[in-house]
Amino acid sequence: MTTPARPVNRHHKRPRGEGQWALGYREPLNKNEENKKNDDGLNVRQRIIDIYSKYGFDSIDPADLRGRMRWYGLYTQRRPGIDGGKTAILEPEELDDRYFMLRVRIDGGRLDLRQLRTIADISNLYGRGTADVTDRQNIQLHWIEIESVPDIWERLEAVGLSTTEACGDTPRVILGCPLAGIDGEEVLDGTPHIREIHDAYIGDPAYSNLPRKFKTAVSGCPAHCTVHEINDVAFVGVVNERGEAGYDLWVGGGLSTNPMLAKRLGVFVTPEQVSAVYGGVIGIFRDYGYRRLRHRARLKFLVNDWGVERFREILQTEYLGYALPDGPAPEQPRGGRRDHVGVFPQKDGNFYVGFAPRVGRLSGDTLHLIADIAERHGSDRVHTTVEQKMVILDVAPDRVDSLVAELEANDLRVNPSTFRRQTMACTGIEFCKLAIVETKATASDLIDELERRLPDFTEPLTINVNGCPNSCARIQVADIGLKGQLVVNDEGEQVEGFQIHLGGSLGVNAGFGRKVRGLKATAAELPDYVERVVRNFEKQRDEGETFSEWVQRADEADLK
């Protein structure tokens, strides 16, 4: 008996392409990809100079205003007076103010005093005195008018700074240890390799249309201060079995609404190979990265789907043309904090002094003050960190005490409390169009309350405050991560508040924070909540146990 043929399913559809260029999907699959195909984001610079700065805000093409201008570090900021409940409801043009946030990229966190003073001048002249140090070593200004941008660029470029690809679907700022070249315990100095990557790839049209943003870290820091675990690509200093210093390669890290830790490829990269290997990784992202859905367009999704073996194979065969040898994993990070706050010796006999601005918030006047203090004490370098902190380098031993005293007198803490030292906050609703709640002032007030209530608490404890789910302030890897949302208070009113993540960490036991069902707090309740959970930790912790370790075993009742 002949078996009847199975009926053809005429409704069966071929799996949808993900927009991967290497597989032939070159036609744009969404509006963002269409805008990038229509015109490279790098081309907007000339329009800003020739047209928009001369004819004003109303002359700006919408595709440039909410797209390509990001390629030069420009975002429209949030119009004042729009509450968080309207963030996801209003159209972009209803949220836009006529002013911009401007992000100055500071690769490796390296600034000399001339550069620092230039940013301070721009802040005071054009940004109403605003200046925030970010957790990616940049400095952000606000209230920038389009008419001022060409002069701002001229001032920055005259001292070797720029805003090129500070935002957008591009290779953004390259993180580096602020102590590179001066730390006697570093595995190697990543500064020349950061410079090579920057000069070879930043502003190159071959890499200016990526599926999404691309985040990089290059460091030989023994404290692992560049948080390599959450970057798209990271080069981590190691020493191989022959005693040669090089890098361990990590790919596919990132947070936001689908957090993933980066994965080791298990290869050893020599210093001479860094630029080519970087080009291979970013090339894979450009060519194989998903471009259909924006929320799946980060490298982490490709790495997660492929696995490290396939990623390594494609990197070696299609992009490098040679195999990379197996290599060792990095040593565990030095110390319990990765921020370089305090006074420490350099390998040349001088000292560096790291200090903590309040949640990264500064001003043009304060930047000038920092430059003046550094200069008075013989330093010409002030570097930024990935924890919203700053470091003054090259201080002679006999000048350290007076430098520290002057910083402390100006509320730039060299010996801060745990809460001042380890609380970060994103931009929040004050300026950000994605935010739902206020962050900077909330975090600052929280610091003051915790210092008053828990003056003797000295254990490491990170508190990261984020205004929306996108995790610019890295909430999932904080001891206490606060994700902004609207919540209902005891009177039944909808107010600003936070969903709470507990016990996230990087380093030895890297992992994401624990979410306890229903664990939320209003902004007003935060001091009471944090005090309560910290006191429970103090009572219950075993000797040497970290907050993150305690959270993983604690009863839910003790976390509420």
Tell me the average confidence (pLDDT) per consecutive run of 10 residues in the chain, 560 residues long: 46 71 96 97 98 98 97 97 94 94 98 98 98 98 98 98 98 98 97 98 98 98 96 98 98 95 98 98 98 97 98 98 98 85 97 98 98 98 98 98 98 98 97 97 98 97 96 96 95 95 91 91 98 98 96 95
Scored b (16 or more CB within 10 A) or e, 524-534 reads: ebbbebbbebb
Which residue type occupies 395?
A: V
What local confidence, expressed as pLDDT, does residue 13 receive? Answer: 52
What local confidence, expressed as pLDDT, does residue 8 receive? Answer: 46
What local confidence, expressed as pLDDT, does residue 15 receive? Answer: 61
Please provide residue 85's backbone torsions phi and psi, each rounded to the nearest 5 degrees.
-70, -15
Report the interhelical angle of 113-126 vs 364-376 (nearest 10°): 160
What local confidence, expressed as pLDDT, does residue 3 receive? Answer: 45
Compute CA 494 distance to the chain's CA centroid, rounded to the nearest angstrom: 30
pTM of the model: 0.95
What local confidence, expressed as pLDDT, does residue 45 receive? Answer: 98
Six-digit token pair at 160? 């070797």
Scored b (16 or more CB within 10 A) or e, 81-113 reads: ebebeebeeeeeeebbbebbbbbbbbbbbbbbb
- Report in angstroms the alpha-carbon separations of 203 from 49, 101, 163, 166, 278: 17, 20, 10, 10, 15
What local confidence, expressed as pLDDT, does residue 509 receive? Answer: 84
Rounded Cα distance between 26 and 55, Å, is 35
- Report in angstroms the alpha-carbon separations of 6 from 13, 289, 341, 444: 17, 37, 70, 68
Report the interhelical angle of 149-158 vs 113-126 (nearest 10°): 170
Q: Is the dihedral of CA 437, 439, 440, 444 positive or negative?
A: positive
